[in-house]
Amino acid sequence: MKGKISMSDLREHERKTLQTLHNLGGKASIEQITTQSHLTEAGVMRAAYTLQERKLIQITETKQRIAKLNKEGKTYAKNGLPERRMTNALKNLSGEAELGKAAQKAGLDSQFAPIALGWIQRKKWATLNPKTKRLRISNSQSIGNDEKLLELLDKKGQATIEDLNPELQQAVQILKGRKLLEVEEKTLRVLELTEAGKAAAKTKPTATAEVTQLTPELIISGRWRKTKLQKYNIQAQVAKTWAGKKHPYLQFLDEVRQKLVALGFKEMHGTFVETSFFNFDALYTPQGHPAREPSDAYFIKSPKYGNVKAYDYALANVKKTHEDGWKTGSTGWKYKYSTKETERLILRSHTTCLSARTLLSKKLEIPGMYFSIGRCYRPEVLDKTHLTEFNQVEGIIVDEGLTLRDLLGVLEKFAIDIAGADKAKFVPDYFPFTEPSVELRAYKKGYGWIEFGGSGIFRPEVTLPLGIKVPVLAWGLGIDRLFMLKARIDDIRQVFSSDLDWLRKQEVT
């Protein structure tokens, strides 16, 4: 920038910010300038960035930690800490009393009595006789730094931790550990005039009107000759804006749904609460299988049982198949089938139950292709690859002459075209309801291999009791993991994160 800059060269907010800073002695915080100038904080910051570019001011930033009392902390600041109240009660009880009586005298609920006792003993304000359960007050009950900090924060509302003495800083950690205060990080921005800024602040601006738009009225009236058009620095920094958009995972689910519909699949729907008949029995899972234990499925407490009378004809076939194989060519599971157990209600542990319902539906088309994208529930241990709630993409293809090769072709398309994998492979697996059974794994460069889920061809023990006499290809894949591969996420919990920084950086496709 050539030549000296005067007030006349600045816009209104810049002049006001510069003049206010000069009036405050040439150095002040954003808060001070905002209060003095009556400008908004955003307006002062925009002006400050422009003034810094023109070398009229310098901006320094310092990280600060601000301590504030929470609701419980304010209550203690007003009424006293539990240990102080109990100590005062002991004084009124001649210095010695049973613990329960002292707590009652102090007006403490039973849940706070152990807390008060613990802190009293830690601070050595009193001693407890373990045999008689009586408290005896000591000679010293001096005011501690935690109480001093409570009083300070109650009076001022907040305090900058870095400005406190070492003793009170230590008290911050104590009160924070007791969950009586909150600590938030804040950036303190201080503006300081440069020599050029001091010189500019001493000049007087010319009284020329400044407008942001040239209107027909200004042109017709001729006022444009005396009007100054506001200059804009198109290279100046501006605040980032974040447009509203659909969550990237929901967007991915919509894309998968659209691709499957485009391939000719029809969507299956169902409820989250399912009977054991469709979730297990119709899928040839024996009633003593470990997958039916409370450690592997969520059972509904009330009501415990549902109604499957509408499927009596299929239930009878399934019962016989479990017991002796019925007409399927199998020997069955060789146990006494319980019709009461089949009515037990659970949160569905997979969406394969929707496939069983579809095969029993009067609307089933042969040949036909069906899919579902639904939430499932299992009491898993939370880690980077498991959640208690997860989504699954389920699919079946019903037609004559289907083979395992057809299934592998569909799975490979899922991995490469939908999840964006570089390659896929298949590993032999076991499921009670499919034979043969395979597990799908996919690889992406820079990410590695990931397991997606299982698949196979429904066994005759599944299809024949439901009235289906043609092959049925079936798969159930963890669509959460499909998205992880596409978005290069290595922790499944990130998929459902409310991390705004991560969400804002996700591209809209």
CA distance 481 to 498: 18
Domains identified in the chain, total number:
3
What pairs with residue 299 in β-bridges?
346
Q: What is the DSSP string of 85-152?
A: HHHHHHHHTTTEEEHHHHHHHHT--TTTHHHHHHHHHHTTSEEEETTTTEEEE-S--PPPHHHHHHHH
Mean pLDDT calculated for residue range 57-69: 90
Report phi then psi at 7, rounded to 5: -60, -30
CA distance 491 to 483: 11
Residues 15 and 139 in one domain: no
Which pLDDT does position 207 carry in this prediction?
A: 54
Residues 474 and 395 in one domain: yes
Residue 82: inside a domain, yes or no?
Answer: yes
Strand order in the sheet with 96-98: 96-98, 134-137, 126-129
Mean pLDDT calculated for residue range 213-219: 84
Q: Residue 170 is part of a domain; what is its CATH number?
A: 1.10.10
| Residue 399 three-state SS | coil
Residues 356 and 498 in one domain: yes
Higher pLDDT, 121 or 497: 121
**Whether pLDDT at 139 is above 80:** no
Which pLDDT does position 435 carry in this prediction?
A: 92
495: Cβ–Cβ under 8 A, 6 or more apart, which residues? 249, 480, 483, 484, 487, 489
pLDDT in tens, 82-95: 999 999 998 899 88
Residues 410 and 262 in one domain: yes
**Whether pLDDT at 9 is above 60:** yes
Residues 39 and 90 in one domain: no
pLDDT in tens, 300-330: 999 999 999 999 999 999 999 999 999 999 9
**Whether pLDDT at 218 is above 90:** no
Which pLDDT does position 275 carry in this prediction?
A: 96
The pTM is what? 0.57
Residue 415: inside a domain, yes or no?
Answer: yes
Among 156, 183, 210, identify where a domain stops. 183
Which pLDDT does position 395 carry in this prediction?
A: 92
pLDDT in tens, 336-353: 999 999 999 999 999 999
Residue pair 12/46 in contact (Cβ under 8 Å)? The answer is: no
Which pLDDT does position 238 carry in this prediction?
A: 67
pLDDT in tens, 388-438: 899 999 999 999 999 999 999 988 888 888 778 889 999 999 988 999 999
Q: What is the mean pLDDT of the chain?
A: 88
Higher pLDDT, 325 or 218: 325
Residue pair 307/438 in contact (Cβ under 8 Å)? The answer is: no
In the chain, what percentage of residues exceed pLDDT 70? 96
CA distance 359 to 372: 14
pLDDT in tens, 15-49: 899 999 999 999 999 989 999 988 888 889 888 98
Using a 10 angstrom Cβ sphere, with 0-12 exposed, 13-18 middle and 19 or more buried, the burial of residue 194 is middle
**H or E stretch at 475:** strand 472-478
Residues 38 and 143 in one domain: no
Residue 300: inside a domain, yes or no?
Answer: no
CA distance 256 to 480: 12
Q: What is the DSSP string of 172-214?
A: HHHHHHTT-EEEEEEEEEEEEE-HHHHHHHTSPPP--EEESS-
Residue among 91, 469, 419, 44 at smallest CA distance from 253: 419
Which pLDDT does position 495 carry in this prediction?
A: 86
Residues 259 and 378 in one domain: yes
| Identity of the residue numbered 165 | N
Q: Which domain holds residue 115?
A: 71-183
Residue 499: inside a domain, yes or no?
Answer: yes
